[in-house]
Amino acid sequence: MAPEQKPVTQLLRQWSAGDKAALDQLMPLVYDQLRRLASRCMASERPGHTLRATAIVHEAYVRLVDSNLDFNDRVHFFAMAARLLRQILVDHARAQNRQKRGGGAIDLTLDEAILVAPDQPGIVELNDALERLSSVDPRKAQVVELLYFGGLTYDEAAAALGISAATVHRELRMAKAWLLTELSDS
């Protein structure tokens, strides 16, 4: 374990044991990485998205604090954070697509309407495809979630799943191919 990772793991264990002061020390250590993960997730979203990376991190923080989860270590924490970031983005996208909010209608200026851009799948479509992949092969879906939403390295994802980094790489290649086919069909 790298030296900068030891305090995170120790603080997570103290927080899980009921030490609320450990949470105050923990958040400054993990906030920047959570924000980078949220920013990376937002990079593939449409321009003018109403949700910002900071808001995603704050929502994830609230949900993590309210959870009764026991975090084993830093990797486990970021794996759970990845799942939360994904869920927050999906919840927001679904809320924006509800009929009372325009049913997914896009606001365009006349100049933008003239330009025809190819449709790209959004977070809801990706989430739905990941759910379908999870029903076929849960580990491949977990690998995508840990790497894409969690920003974990191959080694960290391997440790979280109890497999080798080579297996993570192989599973990711297969998952990408499956998702590409699935998303291009829909």
What is the value of pTM for the model shown?
Answer: 0.60
Tally of residues, the chain: 186
Sequence-distant (≥ 6) Cβ neighbours of residue 5 within 8 angstroms:
74
The closest of 107, 171, 165, 122 to 144, measured between CA atoms, is: 171
Whole-angstrom CA distances from 138 to 71, 75, 107, 174 are: 21, 19, 37, 12
> What is the pLDDT tens value at each position of the chain, 186 positions in all?
444 566 888 888 888 888 888 888 888 888 888 888 887 777 666 666 667 888 888 888 888 777 777 787 888 888 888 888 888 888 887 777 664 555 555 554 434 433 444 455 677 888 889 999 999 999 999 999 888 888 888 998 898 899 999 999 999 999 999 988 888 876
CB-CB contact of 56 with 43 (8 Å): no
Taking the C-alpha atoms of residue 143 and residue 157, their distance in angstroms, rounded to an integer, is 7
The closest of 84, 94, 163 to 128, measured between CA atoms, is: 94
Residue found by looking up tokens 């809320």 in the block: 95
